[in-house]
Structure 1
Amino acid sequence: MQSTNSGTVLVAAALVVGLVVRQQLRTRPVRRYGSLITPAVFGVLGISGIAFGIASVVKDRPLTALPVALLVASLAVAAGLGAARSRTVRVWRGPQGEVLRKGTAATTGLWLASAGVHFGLGLWIDHAAGTGVLGVASLYAYLAIGVGTQNLLVRGRAAAL
């Protein structure tokens, strides 16, 4: 049963990341608040996911410092990769004066690297915890911080136009 749940979680995670990447590659306007809605939703889901992950660990054993430190490091990496991705997004003025954005092949590459890093750190977190799904459950928090950082920096570049 555990492998079925893990497979379902991995498929769902791949779908979410795929949808985020797909959205990044579309030409779309830079909006004042719209770019913050998705990270806010991911943030709420991320907080509940981390709470669930912690609960899954502590039901079997105490939570030690290493998985918590790895989780914090994972979220810091998300911010760093979000900042790197923001530099790969094209930002320009459209024909009606609106500011547009579109991810590039480099954006996609950094998204794939980001997904790989999260997957690897998630496995390490869960191994360090000895049980539970804290690493996998932190996906939405990882996305919230990564997408939020990227969008804030893209908005800053757009404002400079």
Structure 2
Amino acid sequence: MMSAADSSLAVNVVLGLLALAWILSRQVQKRPAKPSSLRAPVILAAVGLYETVSFLQDSAPAQGVPVTVLALLVLGVVIGGALAAWRGSQVRVWRDADGTVVRQGPALTVLLWLVAVGVHLGLDVLIDHVDHGLSGLGSASLVLYLGVVLGVQSLVVQRRAQLLAA
């Protein structure tokens, strides 16, 4: 029988994979570069924050979460943010024949997404090495991570589109 922690971890992995598939499919589509509401990234980040906090409350040792673990989690988000800004700078933004500003990510954006998720999960391995009781934190925080980095990339692309429109 699956424990509550295992069930929650499975839900996080499935949510993360679904969110990643949705994100990757939208990266390479030609779409209008309208001023993006950050609704999707905020929703992903909020769900991910809830899942991350729940995981830490259920799994953290009595003396609390080690500072090293928190530092690795923050480091992952910082690296992810840097990769997201790079991805955003690589998205093609142009005026279509009818004057609409459009955007489309090249294959490089998909590759950079996969590298970023790999870095995030690699840091999970380091976290497991630091504290075996927190094994799975990377999976638990994956949706949070996706929301944050999607938001950063969206802001970069949105800014580039605004400059083109002006």
Q: Go from structure 1 to structure 2 and tell me whether the alpha carbon gap of 1:117 and 1:141 turns closer, same or farther (over 3 Å shift).
A: same
Q: Go from structure 1 to structure 2 and tell me whether the alpha carbon gap of 1:39 and 1:7 turns closer, same or farther (over 3 Å shift).
A: closer
Distance of 1:127 and 1:99 partners within structure 2? 47
TM-score scaled by structure 2? 0.85
Distance of 2:131 and 2:55 partners within structure 1? 10
Number of matched pairs: 160
Superposition pairs of residues 10-159 of structure 1, within 5 angstroms: 10-34=13-37, 36-58=38-60, 62-132=64-134, 133-159=136-162
- In structure 2, the residue corresponding to 1:111 is in which secondary structure? helix
AA paired with 2:151? G
Residue 58 (structure 1) shift: 2.1
| Contact in 2 for aligned 1:56/1:134 (Cα 8 Å) | no
| Contact in 2 for aligned 1:126/1:135 (Cα 8 Å) | no
Deviations 1:31-74 (A, max 9, x none): 2133x111111111121022112112226663111110001101
Q: Go from structure 1 to structure 2 and tell me whether the alpha carbon gap of 1:9 and 1:46 turns closer, same or farther (over 3 Å shift).
A: closer
| Contact in 2 for aligned 1:52/1:134 (Cα 8 Å) | no
Residue 8 (structure 1) shift: 6.1
Q: Go from structure 1 to structure 2 and tell me whether the alpha carbon gap of 1:10 and 1:59 turns closer, same or farther (over 3 Å shift).
A: same
Distance of 1:24 and 1:144 partners within structure 2? 14
Unaligned ranges ≥5, structure 2: none
Q: CA RMSD in A?
A: 2.1
Distance of 1:23 and 1:97 partners within structure 2? 22
Q: Go from structure 1 to structure 2 and tell me whether the alpha carbon gap of 1:23 and 1:149 turns closer, same or farther (over 3 Å shift).
A: same
Unaligned ranges ≥5, structure 1: none
Residue 144 (structure 1) shift: 1.6
